[in-house]
Amino acid sequence: MEGKQQQLPPPPGSGAPGAAGEERRPEEGKDAAGGGALGRPLGATPSQSRFQVDLVAEGAGRPAEEPRKASGEGSAAGKGSEEAKGRFRVNFVDPAAGDESPGEPGGGSSEGGNVSFQNGGDTVLSEGSLHSGGHHHYYYDTHTNTYYLRTFGHNTMDAVPRIDHYRHTAADLGEKLLRPSLAELHDELDKEPFEDGYANGEEGTPAGEAAATYTPDSKGVVKFGWIKGVLVRCMLNIWGVMLFIRLSWIVGQAGIGLSVLVIGMATVVTTITGLSTSAIATNGFVRGGGAYYLISRSLGPEFGGAIGLIFAFANAVAVAMYVVGFAETVVELLKENGTLMIDEMNDIRIIGAITVVILLGISVAGMEWEAKAQIVLLVILILAIGDFVIGTFIPLDSKKPKGFFGYKAQIFMENFGPDFRHEETFFSVFAIFFPAATGILAGANISGDLADPQSAIPKGTLLAILITTLVYIGIAVSVGSCVVRDATGNLNNTIVTELTNCTTAACKLNYDFSSCQTRCQYGLMNNFQVMSMVSGFAPLISAGIFSATLSSALASLVSAPKIFQALCKDNIYPGFQMFAKGYGKNNEPLRGYLLTFLIALGFILIAELNVIAPIISNFFLASYALINFSVFHASLAKSPGWRPAFKYYNMWISLVGAILCCIVMFVINWWAALLTYVIVLGLYIYVTYKKPDVNWGSSTQALTYLNALQHSIRLSGVEDHVKNFRPQCLIMTGAPNARPALLHLVHAFTKNVGLMICGHVHMGPRRQAMKELSTDLAKYQRWLIKNKMKAFYAPVHAEDLRDGGQYLMQAAGLGRMRPNTLVVGFKKNWRQGDMRDVETYINLFHDAFDIQYGVVVIRLKEGLDISHLQGQEELLSSQEKSPCTKDVIVKVDYSKKAETDTSIAFAPSSSERTHTLHKEEDEDGKTPTQPLLKKDSKSPSSPLNLADQRLLDASTQFQKKQGKSNIDVWWLFDDGGLTLLIPYLLTTKKKWKDCKIRVFIGGKINRIDHDRRAMATLLSKFRIDFSDIMVLGDINTKPKKENIAAFEEMIEPFRLHEDDKEQEVADKMKEDEPWRITDNELELYKTKTYRQIRLNELLKEHSSTANIIVMSLPVARKGAVSSALYMAWLEALSKDLPPILLVRGNHQSVLTFYS
């Protein structure tokens, strides 16, 4: 076996990823690529196999000489489970690549995984470069087996760290590999790892080759670097029409000094946003969707969904704005030459429509064409800027009457200060300029098409901001130094005689433009075409304007569909799902392109863009504000997952950036800002209400956790006070959906008041229970949330119920948020079951009292446990589809016995336990919403029997409105007030608010009025409303004989009858069966027994019509009263009554009348 492996060395430098060579020199250990990969320096042989794999299994107890087979034949770990697929790859190496010297060790690693060592290890190709060059690099995944690799030359399942273990399943760059689970490494081996020595029938290379499925690297996918993908795009988008036709006017109004300040302020906002964008973009792998992706993955779907929609819409409308800007320029040229087609407005519409169709064609042709078009447009734009700069150094006499004199100190001094006219102010000028600084997200918006978005977005965005800002400032200063504010354009205004009182720069340069101080046609203030006039070749400036508008339009036309597609893929707005589909190798959103085209065309035809422009600017600013806020929020949440590779950001600067963006929104246009806030808030509320089923690990989650943690710790430092007492209930439900009545009743008095924990004790084999614990935790917590239950689910594994209950009572909760009341269902079938279960059940009460818990026992005469009705969980979904169907048919299965159970609680039919539930959950672990019954037409079914139908009806009775009826409180013993507090809390809830509290107390016949008044005074001091107080003077009357006889008949099977047996036999029996009732005990507690029977008679007499009865729970002394007798008391007390809560507080006050 070993020899065979040695005869088949790999091709030179092949080294499959993650496969470590057997023969290696010590120093080569450090050359292992992620997964322990080494390029093996062995010579090639003519009978060379193209596939080289090390297949190693954890050979527990196997002979040492059998651990491995030849390549492709190796033995695998025996489980062959589905979840293990794809745990390793076979590297296909082109034999042509193996012509270098075989003696060199393979070296280095790239990105820690998926590294192909070729040409003897001289070249290392990482994922990003695999499709370039002539090497074929295929992955072969095994779909039947788990092959474990050699690690550090040692046969072990344990995997070394590598990038593929950390991928998402839908990763674009490569497939996810599964590291061995902890169970695979830690659990005992069930069986031999492999039966036949082969990996499930893969006998040699050909079979292995046939079984392997390969996914070649996707060729033809266009990915851009940082220059082409980000820098070029951002520069083109930031340099807009403003540069050529508005910047000179801004300089005229604000002066050079304030113009630079305006540009600087805009740059501060965009730079802070750029830094924040860089921080988020480098905090993990960025997919397509740009601003939407960054915000949604950081702040969660609510903010992301709101911004994604308005940002995509803003980009779509921006296409119309830019195209109309282009069309206006063309129409101006046509007007100058007198060649208008119809009239100005319609010409703009015609040219705009034609332009947007051409742009759509370029976009749909693919990103590569669009990128080429952008490069061409950038070249034209740079030439136009260069044309202007050259023009400033060539002052022609013909241009002087129009106000252009070349660089002059006098002009610079005159234009340095502001000269606001026509009601313009600094902020109005800033509002006009600011949209020219936007566009910084143009690169980030196509994040899905970037080869390495993490490095490209920061570099490209920040460099683009720097370059464009310098150009803006440079042009503002140069145009302000060359051109005067007002000029006539008339040559006759030359001054022949020298004037002595010259004040203007033009006057000092021998021109007198004073004749048209208010209505001049030329100069910075009056002529938007100053840059054309100054430039060396005017048509080039027109070309620059075309380039600026078309490139921005093109960038927006590409951004909008990409963002919208990412939004639709996440299914945040289900109605837009159809736009998620992509086409071709690049996954182009053609449907999105069409939608964007239609929106843009619609707005072009409206052609009234002055109204829309401020709204669009505000939409962009809202996105910037949220990107800045995302960084602040993520830093504030201190999530360990927030660790951007880009370090030059600060959470407080990001917060300032977010505030600045909000201020600028109002500066630009206050009503547009308000409209934007309303739209964002509306979408936020919609998404919050819809609760999309996504989990992106947002900073909102992290901050929620941090707040909860801090408040819990703060709460722990505060002593409890009676005024703040809340019933914090640990309910022993078992599976929460098995006992809905128990859950809903307790939820009625704990919701928004106190803690509610659903305890679930798993018993049975430990290994199986541990698996169930983890799956149940997620499943049932989700079920509780879906059913709007404000509760926690706490499963434990224990040998028996008592141990499990003790674990929960001692350990459940956190700090001050710990349970103080144990709630259990009444054990209805106690007489039929094993009495050891009764002993365990009663001991739970004793344990609870020992730990100073209150105890509540809830009994419904129909029972609580509906788990034996199969399929009960799926009914709601079928009911929702056909709400009118009345006769529901279910399968009833009574065959599940207690010994198969792993989850037990106390309630009726605990012999037909909840085992079946585990099989009925949906495959993904999500349970449908209500624990009811399922219409099932396919399987053999029977109508519900009467008892089950009643049980089912009773299980939902606390979900309905309770109407005007009574809550009867039998406050016989003072337990601190819990017996009174629970009914009061019930009446504060909407479903119970019409119910009246009636209070029953014990008293003496000769003091009934006195006792009633005393209780009325106490209740009024407690501020608890009641409708009636009844004093029972006949509690200690002897019960009816037939009821006494029925009680004695009930306890007969559980009596010891020690008087009829020998002492030794009786002692032995009592020791073996401690629950048995002794004659002595029965005699000793006769009065108490009679009281329970009598109370049941009184309850039937007075409270048979009540909605619910709350009554003091009798306490049995530990060690003195046997379990069977105590159980019999509870049975006698509570039988044949409406729903009853037997309550016993821990005898510490929970009510007070002091303020």
Tokens of 753: 């008041």
C-beta separation of 484 from 403 below 8 A = yes
Q: pTM score, two decimals?
A: 0.67
Highest mean pLDDT among 864-878, 1070-1084, 1097-1111: 1097-1111
Per-residue confidence (pLDDT) for residue 255, from 0 to 100: 92
Residue-wise pLDDT for 472-487, tens only, equals 999 999 999 998 888 8
Per-residue confidence (pLDDT) for residue 17, from 0 to 100: 39
C-beta separation of 300 from 700 below 8 A = yes
Cα 603 to Cα 312, 345, 349, 620, 739, distances in angstroms: 15, 13, 10, 18, 59
pLDDT band at 687 (very low <50, low <70, confident <90, very high): confident
DSSP string spanning 83-118?
Answer: GGTTS--EEE--GGG--S-TTSPP---STTSS-EEE
* pLDDT at 511 > cutoff 80: no
* Mean pLDDT of the region 635-655: 89
Residue-wise pLDDT for 787-809, tens only, equals 888 889 999 999 888 999 999 99
**10 Å Cβ neighbour count for 1082?**
16
Least confident of 145-149, 583-587, 1041-1045, 1110-1114: 145-149
Query: What percent of the chain is predicted at pLDDT more than 90?
Result: 13
788 in the Ramachandran plot: left (φ > 0), alpha (ψ -120 to 50) or beta?
left
The CA-based angle 829-832-833, given to 5 degrees, is: 85
Least confident of 173-177, 664-668, 875-879: 875-879
**Rounded Cα–Cα distance for residues 960 and 181 (Å):** 46
* pLDDT at 600 > cutoff 80: yes
* pLDDT at 35 > cutoff 60: no
Residue-wise pLDDT for 738-751, tens only, equals 888 889 889 888 88
Q: Which residues make Cβ contacts (< 8 Å) with residue 999, sequence separation at least 6?
A: 969, 971, 980, 1015, 1019, 1026, 1028, 1029, 1030
Residue-wise pLDDT for 1020-1043, tens only, equals 888 888 888 888 888 888 888 999
C-beta separation of 355 from 362 below 8 A = no
Highest mean pLDDT among 43-57, 646-660, 992-1006: 646-660
Per-residue confidence (pLDDT) for residue 1110, from 0 to 100: 92
Per-residue confidence (pLDDT) for residue 153, from 0 to 100: 61
Tokens of 513: 């433009």
Per-residue confidence (pLDDT) for residue 906, from 0 to 100: 46
Per-residue confidence (pLDDT) for residue 154, from 0 to 100: 63
**Rounded Cα–Cα distance for residues 250 and 132 (Å):** 49
* pLDDT at 565 > cutoff 80: yes
Question: What does DSSP say about strands 756-762 and 1140-1144: parallel, antiparallel, or unpaired?
Answer: unpaired
Residue-wise pLDDT for 1118-1155, tens only, equals 888 888 898 999 999 988 899 999 999 888 888 888 87
What is the SS3 string spanning 908-972? CCCCCCHHHHHHHCCCCCCCCCCCCCCCCCCCCCEECCHHHHHHHHHHCHHHCCCCCCEEEEECC
* Mean pLDDT of the region 309-320: 87
What is the SS3 string spanning 196-207? CCCECCECCHHH
Per-residue confidence (pLDDT) for residue 1140, from 0 to 100: 92
pLDDT band at 609 (very low <50, low <70, confident <90, very high): low
Q: Which residues make Cβ contacts (< 8 Å) with residue 657, sequence separation at least 6?
A: 269, 272, 273, 275, 276, 624, 625, 628
Least confident of 107-111, 221-225, 758-762: 107-111
Q: Which residues make Cβ contacts (< 8 Å) with residue 489, sequence separation at least 6?
A: 401, 402, 520, 521, 522
Tokens of 927: 């349970």
Radius of gyration of the chain, Cα coordinates, nearest whole angstrom: 41
Residue-wise pLDDT for 420-475, tens only, equals 888 888 888 888 888 888 888 888 878 877 888 888 889 999 999 999 999 999 99
Per-residue confidence (pLDDT) for residue 205, from 0 to 100: 35
* Mean pLDDT of the region 245-250: 87
Highest mean pLDDT among 151-165, 167-181, 398-412, 933-947: 398-412
Which parts of 638-739 fold into alpha helices (H)? 651-668, 670-690, 699-716
Residue-wise pLDDT for 961-977, tens only, equals 888 888 999 988 888 88
**Rounded Cα–Cα distance for residues 576 and 84 (Å):** 36
DSSP assignment letter at 409: H
Per-residue confidence (pLDDT) for residue 152, from 0 to 100: 66
Per-residue confidence (pLDDT) for residue 219, from 0 to 100: 52
Which parts of 135-289 fold into alpha helices (H)? 182-186, 205-211, 226, 232-238, 242-245, 247-281
pLDDT band at 494 (very low <50, low <70, confident <90, very high): low
Enumerate long-range contacts of 705-710, CB under 8 Å, 24 or more apart.
705/637, 706/637, 706/638
Per-residue confidence (pLDDT) for residue 500, from 0 to 100: 54
pLDDT band at 945 (very low <50, low <70, confident <90, very high): confident
* Mean pLDDT of the region 179-187: 73
Tell me the backbone φ, ψ of residue 224, rounded to 5 degrees. Answer: -105, 150
- pLDDT: is 527 or 271 the higher one? 271
Residue among 65, 69, 70 at smallest CA distance from 9: 70
**Rounded Cα–Cα distance for residues 99 and 105 (Å):** 15
Average pLDDT value for the chain:
75
Per-residue confidence (pLDDT) for residue 660, from 0 to 100: 93
Question: Widest CA span of the chain, in angstroms?
Answer: 147
Residue among 513, 507, 505 at smallest CA distance from 489: 513
Q: No. of H helices and E strands in the chain? A: 36, 21
User: With the C-alpha atoms ordered 250, 254, 260, 261, is the resulting torsion angle positive or negative?
Assistant: negative
DSSP assignment letter at 228: I
DSSP assignment letter at 622: H
pLDDT band at 655 (very low <50, low <70, confident <90, very high): very high
* pLDDT at 372 > cutoff 80: yes
Alpha carbon 689 to its chain centroid, in Å, reads 15
